[in-house]
Amino acid sequence: MPQKTIGFIGLGVMGGAMAGHIRASGERLLIYTRTKSKAQMLLDAGAEWRDSPKELAHECDVIFTMVGYPSDVEEVYFGPEGLIENARPGAILVDATTSRPDLAVRIYEAAKARGLGALDAPVSGGDIGAKNATLTIMVGGDEEAFQSVKPLLEVMGKTVIRQGGPGAGQHTKMANQIAVAGNLLGAVEAVTYARSAGLDPRRMLLSIANGAAQSWQLSNNVPKMLDGNFDPGFYIKHFLKDLRIALDAAHVMKIELPMVALAERLFAKLVAEGMGDLSTHAIYLLYERGLV
């Protein structure tokens, strides 16, 4: 793929690593984030700073965004200072934020009206996947735009699949988060039960972690729970946001997701207890402290 000018907005735990892979691939990279100090490693690696999304948008062929909440997405994309108003004709906008499917459709339609491409491309794999470029990237939007940016997506991720039209990437990410919630609650309750029964949880894992109960949560997060390591790989506050997006979408589709509703209640309690900046597996603390 000929060298293009790539923009990246949002350089947090995930975005910084993702942008780093793009820069390491040899592309010209322009960056913006609210806290400039987060950009220093990329600037040292040859990325170029721009003072606003508007300024960045004027120069880029492809712009990635990886921000926190749907409200942040709206702020970056819409309005006189936003990407849609200021991107140059033919540019492709790729939102990697986990956000609302209906917002992804809105961005797509507004972008198309101005001669731009737009893809929703949320990711899964956490900070480790971002650092190792092994993310799963779930894409919604037009096939032509997808094929155009697929080589860039493959620089950041291992599994890159277009799921359908605009919003399909976000719906796929919601399905992912629903499955994660179920696996995580199951793993925590298995450990809670084992401890209450007088078992050694680590020895219990040797029996169940590779059978029908096996899951990424059992193998990766349960050892961290038992070690008391709740450093953020994926923030509780962001997972709560995702669960609420899933519940809102389910309401629109007129379906019931009782497990997701339970998970939302428990994660909301964690945030209320001041633990929103811990990793998702810190839900174990609710059980350990009898707060469920």
What is the spatial distance between Cα 155 and Cα 164, in angstroms, rounded to a whole number?
21
Q: Strand 123-124 relative to strand 117-120: parallel, antiparallel, unpaired?
A: unpaired
Cβ-count burial of 27 within 10 angstroms (0-12 exposed, 13-18 middle, 19+ buried)?
Answer: buried
Q: Which helix (H) or strand (E) holds 182?
A: helix 168-196
What is the spatial distance between Cα 32 and Cα 54, in angstroms, rounded to a whole number?
10
What is the spatial distance between Cα 160 and Cα 28, in angstroms, rounded to a whole number?
22
173 is catalytic: yes
What is the spatial distance between Cα 6 and Cα 60, in angstroms, rounded to a whole number?
5
User: By three-state DSSP, how is residue 233 classified?
Assistant: coil
DSSP code at position 88: P
What is the spatial distance between Cα 94 and Cα 292, in angstroms, rounded to a whole number?
39
Q: In terms of Cα–Cα distance, which of 90, 19, 73 is closest to 50?
A: 19
What is the spatial distance between Cα 115 and Cα 8, in angstroms, rounded to a whole number?
20
| Active-site entry in 54, 173, 237, 241 | 173
Produce one character per residue of 123-156: b if its CB has 16 or more CB atoms within 10 Å, e if not. bbbbbebbbebebbbbbbbbeebbebbbebbebb
Amino acid at 96: A
Catalytic residues: 173
